[in-house]
Chain A
Amino acid sequence: MFYNWVFDEEKNENKIALSTLTNSYTYGELKKEVEKYTKILSNYGDLKGTRTALIIPSIFTYVSLFLAVNKLGGTVVPISHQFRKHDLTSVLQLTQPHIVFTVNQHDHISHLELLKNWADESGKQTIVYSYDKNEDWAVYLSEGEAYEKDEEKIDVIGCSSGSTGVPKGIMINMESWRNWISQIEGSFGVSKNDLIFSTFPLNSPYGIAWALTSLKNGLKIVFPESFDVFKIIHYLKNNQCNKIVATPSAYNSLNMFLQKEDRSILERLERIMISGEPITPGFIESLKGMDHCKLTGCYGISEQGILLIKEDMRELYETGWDLVKGIEVRIEKDRELVFKSPAVLKGYYKRPDLTTEVLVEGWYHTGDLGELLGNKKIQIIGRKKDMIKKGGQQVIPGEVEQVLLKHKDVKKVSVVGVSHPTFGEKVVAFIVGDKLIAQTELYNLCKSEIAKYKVPDEIHQIKDLPMNQGKVDKLELKRMLAEGDL
């Protein structure tokens, strides 16, 4: 179990285990907190087959609960606290947690209210723990029959938006986590002398893998509780971070200010590790003046861990990606990249159909397109799946489209991703309606239903959607937008 990886005999109780921008917690404090939650959860007997959802913005509380649930043999379901009514409800419907730990209110959203409503409407029993500003926990129990327990052992169900807007639960077990950690250890040459800054949220599998690597090896990694550029810059000024783990858009945001403000922060960096979005020629251009630093890029997916690496990103377009040790690759006739990785998912939760569609004898079909350059080098050339990557987060057009269609006057809708200097890609919605629809109504609808990063950056009302062979012609929509032909 994760607990044994974290609290082995060599760790000194007073050593720092977790750091955020404002606080640090020792292994001793973390152990105590894990024990506190283990005691609470022990009231529910053996947790095997029991799903516990964590919707927690505090990293210390989140990690403690994560370790406690796993210690008791339960399934951890990490859920983003940025989710709103629509995306939160769809993830809850898929994973049907027996127990939920959440915060009463965060960022003007009453998570407790949303959870209570969902639990009551489901007619099933859910135990909802929620904490307030003073970190006091209260319990709410909805009435009804208990959800069925899972027969198979599942350690973590990571949630991602599926390609149709219906979420997918990525089941990842201990053996795969062990391999995720080995991939990070092997690919990035991390050591105990480093002070690493990571911008990845800890509810994503990649973020979890970094947290586990850090806790297992006693590394000094700082995980901010929210991506706040100025707080991060302030922290970097006062702390000697030598490595940064970030998406291109997060790094770009920091870089743009650091270039003007304080280049010394950039000058003391020894390595930056970039992943989570395509590494574009424009991004590589922004790395000028960073010759003193190793500029490592990596390509990975939640379903399989880290698959490709580029030791020096500046050469990516000349020489292509290298395979990470232990990974095998195949390229299909339609140029889809298919990998075999020891960090592979167990399957999609309650979706054996989807699992067999993409995972065949250990080979996973990524939905990304690529080509072999020879000498086992690979170039990624595009995406088969309809997905937008905004600020390192996935936005599935189908999910945003479903929300916009809830407006009574919206007849048709199509959402596309368009290249953007800060976000990587921005979310642009095209709608069709019989009468002119007030933009404010549409933005307000989206803001109340889905996480902020999924809310369209632009909404355009057009006469009709262009069609090609019975499908919305998204390329034509992008052309119309680029040429102002709306």
Chain B
Amino acid sequence: MFLKLDHLRKVISEVANIPLNEVQEHSSFKDDLGIDSLQMVNLILEIHTKFGVELNKIKSNDDLATVGSMYISLTRD
């Protein structure tokens, strides 16, 4: 399944128990959504399972700063 930003927002909202409207492209995982490292691992594995996205697309911590930066890293070629 092709990953769209709204898909990603929905998975984040479900995994982290945060209302969808609070999960925005500019939301910071740490500061706005309060997602810790183990939750982040869980989230990435959920995305991997649901959308078949390869884990090695994430190159650094910067890729996991915001919802938008995660989306860009997961969808780049």
**Residues in chain A within 8 A of chain B (CB atoms):** 108, 226-231, 234, 249-250, 253, 256-257, 260-261, 391, 421-423, 439-440, 443, 447, 452-453, 456-459
Also in contact, A439 and B55, with CB within 8 A (given A227-B37, A256-B41): no
Also in contact, A422 and B45, with CB within 8 A (given A230-B61, A230-B64): yes
Asked if A229 and B37 sit within 8 Å, CB to CB, the answer is: yes
Question: B17-71: which residues lie under 8 A (CB-CB) from chain A?
Answer: 17-19, 31, 34, 36-38, 40-42, 45, 54-56, 58, 60-61, 64
For B40, the chain A residues whose CB sits under 8 A away are: 229
Choose from B18, B41, B56 the contact partner of A229 (Cβ within 8 Å).
Answer: B41
Q: How many residues of B contact A (CB 8 A)?
A: 19
Choose from B34, B38, B54, B56 the contact partner of A253 (Cβ within 8 Å).
Answer: B38
Instruction: Identify 30 residue pairs between A and B in the complex whose beta-carbon atoms are under 8 Å apart, listed by A's number.
Output: A108-B34, A227-B36, A227-B37, A227-B38, A228-B61, A229-B38, A229-B41, A230-B58, A230-B60, A231-B61, A234-B60, A234-B61, A253-B38, A253-B41, A256-B41, A256-B45, A257-B55, A260-B56, A261-B55, A391-B38, A421-B45, A422-B38, A423-B38, A440-B19, A443-B18, A452-B34, A453-B36, A456-B17, A457-B17, A458-B17
Asked if B55 and A256 sit within 8 Å, CB to CB, the answer is: yes
In Å, the complex CA distance between A368 and B56 comes to 40
Q: Which of A256, A260, A421, A422 gathers most chain B CB within 10 Å?
A: A422
For A253, the chain B residues whose CB sits under 8 A away are: 37-38, 41
Also in contact, A452 and B55, with CB within 8 A (given A256-B45, A422-B45): no
User: What is the distance, in angstroms, from B34's C-beta to the closest C-beta of chain A?
Assistant: 7
Also in contact, A452 and B36, with CB within 8 A (given A230-B64, A260-B54, A260-B56): yes
Asked if A443 and B17 sit within 8 Å, CB to CB, the answer is: yes
For B37, the chain A residues whose CB sits under 8 A away are: 226-230, 253
Asked if B38 and A453 sit within 8 Å, CB to CB, the answer is: yes
User: What is the distance, in angstroms, from B36's C-beta to the closest C-beta of chain A?
Assistant: 5
Chain A's closest residue to B46 (CB) is: A422
Chain B's closest residue to A442 (CB) is: B17
For B60, the chain A residues whose CB sits under 8 A away are: 230, 234
User: What is the distance, in angstroms, from B73's C-beta to the closest C-beta of chain A?
Assistant: 11
User: What is the distance, in angstroms, from A450's C-beta to the closest C-beta of chain B?
Assistant: 13
For A257, the chain B residues whose CB sits under 8 A away are: 41, 55
In Å, the complex CA distance between A230 and B60 comes to 7
Asked if B56 and A261 sit within 8 Å, CB to CB, the answer is: yes
For A440, the chain B residues whose CB sits under 8 A away are: 19
For A439, the chain B residues whose CB sits under 8 A away are: 17
Q: Which of B18, B37, B40, B56 gathers most chain A CB within 10 Å?
A: B37
In Å, the complex CA distance between A172 and B37 comes to 31
Chain A's closest residue to B41 (CB) is: A253
User: What is the distance, in angstroms, from A429's C-beta to the closest C-beta of chain B?
Assistant: 11
For A250, the chain B residues whose CB sits under 8 A away are: 38
In Å, the complex CA distance between A260 and B54 comes to 8
In Å, the complex CA distance between A423 and B15 comes to 13
User: What is the distance, in angstroms, from A4's C-beta to the closest C-beta of chain B?
Assistant: 36
Q: Which of B31, B54, B55 gathers most chain A CB within 10 Å?
A: B55
For A458, the chain B residues whose CB sits under 8 A away are: 17
In Å, the complex CA distance between A456 and B38 comes to 14
Asked if A249 and B38 sit within 8 Å, CB to CB, the answer is: yes
Asked if B41 and A422 sit within 8 Å, CB to CB, the answer is: yes
Q: Which of B31, B36, B40 gathers most chain A CB within 10 Å?
A: B36
Choose from B36, B38, B42, B55 the contact partner of A260 (Cβ within 8 Å).
Answer: B55
- Please name 8 further chain A to chain B contacts, defined as beta carbons within 8 Å, in addition to the given A226-B37, A443-B17, A459-B17, sorted by A numbering: A227-B36, A228-B61, A230-B58, A257-B41, A421-B45, A423-B42, A439-B17, A447-B34
In Å, the complex CA distance between A226 and B58 comes to 20
User: What is the distance, in angstroms, from A45's C-beta to the closest C-beta of chain B?
Assistant: 41
For B64, the chain A residues whose CB sits under 8 A away are: 230
User: What is the distance, in angstroms, from A233's C-beta to the closest C-beta of chain B?
Assistant: 10
For A234, the chain B residues whose CB sits under 8 A away are: 60-61
User: What is the distance, in angstroms, from B50's C-beta to the closest C-beta of chain A?
Assistant: 14
In Å, the complex CA distance between A230 and B29 comes to 14
In Å, the complex CA distance between A230 and B64 comes to 9
For B34, the chain A residues whose CB sits under 8 A away are: 108, 447, 452
In Å, the complex CA distance between A391 and B39 comes to 10
